């Protein structure tokens, strides 16, 4: 490959196409904005109508539920039809239901696992097919320090993030022979809307909880997006099957 065909430092993702789930807000939106600024064309997937506000040249919003098998097929088809290729998948979509196991319904348990773990499986499976045909690609899963630590009330969330970490490792072994790297970000508490459904002010709750990290604060969504973008980039070409912790030290602190 000649120097003229190499992505520039200002646009390292020029010519590349990404799918980002959970794109309407928080880490997903920050990731869409960052990859787009750096040259990528993006299919932005989200459940709410807010994802449609991302529409512009080079960003195609898709309103879909990641837990549905048809959603993964739709996102991949959209990338191939609109942009002709697929290079990157960021599995970011996630939910949390904060409830003790004894009080949690089977429906609530299944929903958390379906979005956080099964959704990543469905989108990874669909994305790998064109990536395998091309002989290259990168999949980045947005996980959590909860894959190593936990606390009362987040059993379903912690189980789903543990599953996501193991999916990352296993899929990495299956994919690398096809030129596809699979890694994850072990995110700390980032100030997003993920807890809005269970807290009067979800962002304030996460900001407060994030102060328990050794670094003394919660993450900004943009900080997690930077790690995801790095793992999707050529700079991470030798990183395979890793869960890169970006949690302010939470995973190494005594609970």
pLDDT of residue 197: 64
pLDDT of residue 212: 77
Ordered per-residue pLDDT tens for the chain, 255 residues: 444 445 667 799 999 999 999 999 999 999 999 999 999 999 999 998 789 999 999 999 999 999 999 999 999 999 999 999 999 999 999 998 989 999 999 999 999 999 999 999 999 999 999 999 999 999 999 999 888 888 888 899 999 999 999 999 999 999 999 999 999 999 988 876 666 666 667 666 666 666 778 888 888 899 999 999 999 999 999 999 999 999 988 888 866
Two tokens at 206?
């996460």
pLDDT of residue 1: 42
Total count of domains within the chain: 1
Q: What's the distance, Cα to Cα, between the start and end of the chain in Å? A: 49
Q: Does residue 1 lie in a domain region?
A: no
Q: Of 145, 148, 157, 205, which residue is the catalytic one?
A: 157
Neighbours of 160 (CB within 10 A): 28
Q: Does residue 2 lie in a domain region?
A: no
Distances (CA, A) of 43 to 63, 149, 206, 229: 10, 32, 28, 15
Q: Does residue 72 lie in a domain region?
A: yes
Q: Does residue 7 lie in a domain region?
A: no
Query: Nearest Cα to 95, choosing from 58, 46, 151?
Result: 46
Q: Does residue 234 lie in a domain region?
A: yes
Q: Does residue 6 lie in a domain region?
A: no
Query: Could you report the per-residue pLDDT of 198-227, keeping only the tens digit for each?
Result: 666 766 666 666 677 888 888 889 999 999
Active site residue 145: no
Q: What is Dmax (Cα atoms) for the chain?
A: 61
Q: Does residue 255 lie in a domain region?
A: no
Question: Could you tell me the CATH number of the domain that includes residue 18?
Answer: 3.40.50.720
Domain of 161 in residue numbering reads as 13-248
Q: Does residue 127 lie in a domain region?
A: yes
């Amino acid at each position: 490959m000649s120097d003229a065909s190499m992505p520039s430092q200002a646009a390292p993702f020029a010519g590349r196409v990404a799918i980002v789930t959970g794109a309407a807000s928080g880490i997903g939106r920050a990731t869409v904005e960052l990859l787009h600024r750096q040259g990528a064309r993006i299919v932005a997937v989200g459940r709410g109508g807010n994802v449609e506000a991302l529409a512009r040249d080079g960003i195609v919003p898709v309103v879909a539920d990641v837990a549905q098998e048809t959603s993964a097929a739709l996102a991949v088809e959209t990338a191939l039809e609109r942009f002709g290729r697929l290079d990157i998948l960021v599995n970011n979509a996630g939910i949390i239901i904060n409830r003790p196991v004894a009080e949690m319904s089977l429906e609530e348990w299944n929903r958390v696992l379906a979005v956080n773990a099964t959704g990543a499986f469905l989108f990874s499976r669909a994305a790998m097919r064109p990536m395998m045909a091309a002989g290259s690609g990168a999949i980045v899963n947005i996980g959590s320090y909860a894959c190593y630590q936990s606390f009362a009330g987040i059993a379903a969330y912690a189980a789903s993030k543990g599953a996501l970490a193991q999916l990352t490792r296993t899929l990495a072994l299956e994919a690398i022979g096809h030129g596809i790297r699979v890694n994850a970000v072990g995110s700390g508490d980032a100030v997003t809307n993920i807890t809005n459904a269970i807290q009067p002010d979800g962002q304030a709750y996460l900001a407060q909880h994030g102060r328990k990290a050794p670094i003394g604060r919660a993450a900004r969504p943009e900080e997690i997006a930077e790690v995801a973008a790095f793992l999707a980039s050529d700079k991470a070409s030798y990183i395979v099957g890793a869960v890169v912790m970006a949690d302010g030290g939470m995973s190494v602190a005594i609970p």
